[in-house]
Amino acid sequence: MSRLARVATISVHTSPLDQPGTGDAGGMNVYIVEVAKRMAERGIEVDLFTRATSRTLPPVAELAPGVLVRHVSAGPLEELDKSELPNQMCAFTSGLLRTEAAHEPGHYDLIHSHYWLSGQAGHAARMRWGVPLVHSMHTLAKVKNAALADGDTPEPLGRVLGEQRVVDSADRLIANTADEASQLRTLYDADPQQVETVLPGVDLTTFTPEAPGEAKPSHVEARRRLGLPPDRSVLLFVGRIQPLKAPDVLIRATAAMVEREPRLRDRLLVAVVGGPSGSGRSRPRELVELAARLGVADMVRFEPPCPQSELADWYRAADITVVPSHSESFGLVAVESQACGTPVVAAAVGGLKTAVRDGVSGVLVRGHEPADYARVLLDLLDAPRRLRRMSAEAARHGAAFGWEATADRLLEIYAKAVGERAMAASA
């Protein structure tokens, strides 16, 4: 690994410094930050390039020892919708190339771009710098469009074509799961030798059960810290509030549960932790209004995104975390929850089929009918012994995912890509 000293990581549309759970910040932000920190711990410097969105941001900020965030001026100094960002890619790419040009040739050994917009800039830098490009899609337009939620906006043709260009030009494509790897091969005709599967991780020092060695001995302490009643059954949703993530399914399922068992009105609390994102930004109160229309507003508590230490308490405080997404490349929320000893009820889509052990650490639900979720949730809440067993299994399953393993696997792929590039250059 002595030949790999410095990596340029590109994340155009969302900054690694942004709070996950609001705007466009989510699991990808967590992935980039956690991997960069662990690369630095292994002696590899990481420069994270992102678009500047405020005049108050410094040109360069230290995220951690060995990890710098570089804010590139490209377009207005404000947040832009992702649909507006393709128009700023020339400016962003120019800023990226100027940064490298200020150093001696060979300053960066490899580029790792995240999301298709970053791949466009990564492709240009790869050609100019003569280094390999490793790319992580995180989500795929063709997959999202095939599972579009009601009220959501289809991904445009420009993104589909842009993703295809990245697939055709990258030295390596990183898939979060075997399912995503298959989608890259079948939907985008990716070379099987080009696709590598690397499971994301979870911070196992933060996301842990309430007490070491026990899955879920008590909700009391976490609930006390969060100001939650100790005697309620708590269902939790964590994530960006947008149709893709389907938080409305949980609200509708709650109404169906109460209709079936009225006694739950005084026993059940639903916590929604997250902020508006994507098409949800244009209707920020839609979920609140839905809860009111269905007559369950008194049972639902809405909370803004929060730091990871507090988020871990939300997982510990919950009886079940619900992840009803229409599409997920992995499902980091599901793994974080399980690592805290909280079982997951999730949609049987994408990476969630890897993140959750169906029937063991949680339950996978086919489709997005609220009645189906209501039935599964009621069955679990009415079977406390089964729920306790699932909690123990969830903690074991979640503990198998660590960022150290993710970073080590990526370093193997980086080394192969750098070695192949060097051999091609000397041929």
Half-sphere exposure of 387 (CA within 13 A, CB side): 22
Please check if 336 is assigned to a binding site. Answer: yes
Q: Give every CB contact of residue 134 below 8 A, 6+ residues apart in sequence.
A: 110, 111, 112, 113, 170, 171, 172, 173, 174, 410, 413, 414, 417
Same domain, 25 and 98: yes
| Angle at the Cα of 187 from the Cα atoms of 183 and 188, rounded to 5 degrees | 105
* 367 domain residue, yes or no: yes
Same domain, 243 and 339: yes
Segment among 146-150, 250-254, 268-272, 285-289 with least mean pLDDT? 146-150
* 409 domain residue, yes or no: yes
- Is the confidence at residue 418, as pLDDT, over 80? yes
Please check if 315 is assigned to a binding site. Answer: yes
Same domain, 269 and 341: yes
Please check if 240 is assigned to a binding site. Answer: yes
Same domain, 186 and 154: yes
What's the pLDDT tens digit per position in 121-164? 999 999 999 999 999 999 999 999 998 888 788 999 999 999 99
> Do 332 and 139 contact (CB within 8 A), yes or no?
no
Please check if 142 is assigned to a binding site. Answer: no
* 253 domain residue, yes or no: yes
Please check if 56 is assigned to a binding site. Answer: no
pLDDT band at residue 427 under the 50/70/90 scheme: confident
Please check if 108 is assigned to a binding site. Answer: no
Please check if 225 is assigned to a binding site. Answer: no
Same domain, 295 and 187: no
What integer pLDDT is reported at residue 208 of this predicted model?
Answer: 94
Please check if 284 is assigned to a binding site. Answer: no
Domain that residue 382 falls in:
219-399
Q: Give the tokens for residue 177.
A: 């799961």
Same domain, 370 and 407: no
Same domain, 58 and 116: yes
What integer pLDDT is reported at residue 283 of this predicted model?
Answer: 60
> Looking at residues 324-338, what average pLDDT do you find?
95
Please check if 159 is assigned to a binding site. Answer: yes
Please check if 25 is assigned to a binding site. Answer: yes
Please check if 396 is assigned to a binding site. Answer: no
* 136 domain residue, yes or no: yes
Domain count of the fold of the chain: 2
Same domain, 111 and 248: no
Q: Give the tokens for residue 116.
A: 């298709």
Same domain, 389 and 340: yes
* 208 domain residue, yes or no: no
SS3 content of the chain, % helix, strand, coil (to 5): 45, 15, 35
172-175: strand order across its sheet: 60-64, 67-72, 45-51, 6-10, 110-114, 133-136, 172-175, 195-197
| 8-state DSSP, 138 | S
* 214 domain residue, yes or no: no
Please check if 393 is assigned to a binding site. Answer: no
Please check if 353 is assigned to a binding site. Answer: no
What's the pLDDT tens digit per position in 341-355? 999 999 999 999 999
Please check if 106 is assigned to a binding site. Answer: no
For the chain, give the percent of residues with pLDDT over 90: 83
Please check if 208 is assigned to a binding site. Answer: no
Same domain, 88 and 190: yes
Global confidence as pTM: 0.91
What's the pLDDT tens digit per position in 46-80? 999 999 998 999 999 999 999 999 999 999 988 88
Backbone torsion region of residue 265, taken as left when φ is above 0, otherwise alpha when ψ lies between -120 and 50, otherwise beta: alpha
Same domain, 116 and 241: no
> Looking at residues 164-173, what average pLDDT do you find?
97
CATH number at residue 246: 3.40.50.2000
* 207 domain residue, yes or no: no
Strand partners, 302: 272
Same domain, 395 and 421: no
* 91 domain residue, yes or no: yes
Q: Give the tokens for residue 361.
A: 């650490």
Please check if 138 is assigned to a binding site. Answer: no
- Give CA–CA dist 21/311, Å, rounded: 11
Please check if 260 is assigned to a binding site. Answer: no
